Amino acid sequence: MTAAASNGAGPRIAVTGRIPQEGLDMLNEAGLVDAWVSLEVPTVQQVHDIVHGAHAAVTLLTTKVDDAFLDAAGPQLKVVANVAVGYNNIDVAACAARGVIATNTPGVLTEATADIAMSLILMTTRRLGEGERVIRSQTPWQWGMFYMLGSGIQGRQLGIVGMGDIGCALARRAKAFGMKIAYSNRRPVAPALEAELGATVMSLDELLSTSDVVSINCPYNPTTHHLIGAAELATMKPTAFLINTARGPIVDEAALAAALNSGEIAGAGLDVFEEEPKVHPQLLQCENAVLIPHLGSATLETRAAMARLAAHNAINVLSGGIPPTPIPVPAG
């Protein structure tokens, strides 16, 4: 299941999943690459076998990088280069404790992910999933003045939870669609950026209770686990929609399914799930949920850019330099 392509010298580089050729070509120039080639996700044991003895590990978001991974790799490991902006799969503190630099791929997937978030806003508010299911199931339908009416978004408030690069890119899109922008964040964004986006900072509580669409764009970590649960959903308007393109476990899926079924909120658009690739069975029954399979960064151009940036990160560390996008090591 792995392919070794060698220039005959240099460090050993393990790649724990299929990545675009652009990234592999760069890595092959830099050392002896042992790459997982199957489209199947490798088991934990298979990952540990690939990384054993590696100086660099290029990982996907499905690869758990923990003490067991680091033990399996061995003390020569210098860098873990994640091909994703999210790094909840990596124990960054454990890496740092062993002198292993962890890196991610911010920036290159910002626009693609914001496109998907905006798409989900339109799909949920305009009931496009339901409409598509009617056509594909050949259910009889007829144009009518009151048939499958959705909600307009012009003049409505989009509340963005997490105003990083992707949140800002979504705000630009939503503003162009005539939405008003509110956001909650650990700290307010720079005044010039706030002015450009016409964005108003507010507490999470205020954002949830006043927004017509709430979009989750924050990182997943212990402090954001189930950030949106039954209590938070109960504070949202019954006409409001929830969008999640960040990480599944930020939203309590069972509570969300209950809120969608009871009409506590109007709809949801999800690109990510608590236990991917599994989806909560009750969500599958919700007509008012649009469910797509983690496609945020899934364009040819974006995936190639992610692979190139991850390769840059790995190669820079291997050659003693500073990687372009290191993950900050948590304090303490």
SS3 294: coil
Residues 6+ apart with CB under 8 A from 183: 159, 160, 161, 162, 163, 167, 171, 189, 199, 200, 201, 202, 207
Of 42, 86, 159, 267, which one interacts with ligand DGY (CB under 6 A)?
Answer: 86
**Residue 84 Cβ vs ligand DGY, minimum distance, rounded to whole Å:** 3
How many chain residues are in contact with ligand DGY, going by CB under 6 A? 8
- Closer residue to ligand DGY in complex, CB, 61/317: 61
Residue numbers 112-151 binding ligand DGY by CB under 6 A = none
Q: Does 318 bind ligand DGY (CB under 6 A)?
A: no
Give the separation between CA 254 and CA 34, rounded to whole angstroms. 40
Residue 294 is a catalytic residue: yes
**Residue 85 Cβ vs ligand DGY, minimum distance, rounded to whole Å:** 4
Is there a contact between 308 and 58 (Cβ–Cβ < 8 Å)?
no
Q: Does 84 bind ligand DGY (CB under 6 A)?
A: yes
Task: Give residue 16's Cα distance to chain centre.
Answer: 19
**Residue 226 Cβ vs ligand DGY, minimum distance, rounded to whole Å:** 19
- Taking CB under 6 A as the binding criterion, the range among 81-89, 138-146, 151-159, 160-168 that sits at the site for ligand DGY is 81-89
Cα separations in angstroms, 26 against 12, 78, 294? 13, 18, 26
What string of DSSP letters covers 180-197?
A: EEEEE-SSPPPHHHHHHH
Helix 165-176 × helix 110-125 angle, to 10°: 50
**Residue 148 Cβ vs ligand DGY, minimum distance, rounded to whole Å:** 30
- Closer residue to ligand DGY in complex, CB, 107/150: 107
**Residue 213 Cβ vs ligand DGY, minimum distance, rounded to whole Å:** 20
Neighbour tally for 235: CB within 10 Å: 15
Going across the sheet that includes 12-15, the strands are 2-5, 32-36, 12-15, 56-59, 79-82, 101-103
Residue numbers 157-176 binding ligand DGY by CB under 6 A = none
- Closer residue to ligand DGY in complex, CB, 31/86: 86
Residue 292, classified by CB atoms within 10 Å of its CB into exposed (0-12), middle (13-18) or buried (19+), is middle
- Closer residue to ligand DGY in complex, CB, 289/309: 309
- Taking CB under 6 A as the binding criterion, the range among 4-12, 80-88, 170-178, 183-191 that sits at the site for ligand DGY is 80-88
Give the separation between CA 167 and CA 169, rounded to whole angstroms. 6
Is there a contact between 76 and 101 (Cβ–Cβ < 8 Å)?
no
Q: Of these residues, 156, 247, 308, 312, which one is catalytic?
A: 247
Neighbour tally for 304: CB within 10 Å: 16
Of 19, 58, 85, 268, which one interacts with ligand DGY (CB under 6 A)?
Answer: 85
Rg (CA), the chain: 21
Neighbour tally for 252: CB within 10 Å: 21
Residue 126 is a catalytic residue: no
Q: Does 61 bind ligand DGY (CB under 6 A)?
A: yes
- The site string for ligand DGY over 93-112 (x = CB under 6 A, - otherwise) reads ----------------x---
Residue numbers 250-309 binding ligand DGY by CB under 6 A = 294, 296-297
Give the separation between CA 261 and CA 235, rounded to whole angstroms. 16
Q: Of these residues, 130, 194, 196, 276, which one is catalytic?
A: 276
**Residue 32 Cβ vs ligand DGY, minimum distance, rounded to whole Å:** 27
- Taking CB under 6 A as the binding criterion, the range among 37-45, 84-92, 131-139, 309-317 that sits at the site for ligand DGY is 84-92
**Can you give the binding site for ligand DGY, defined by CB under 6 A?**
61, 84-86, 109, 294, 296-297
Which of the residues are catalytic?
247, 276, 294
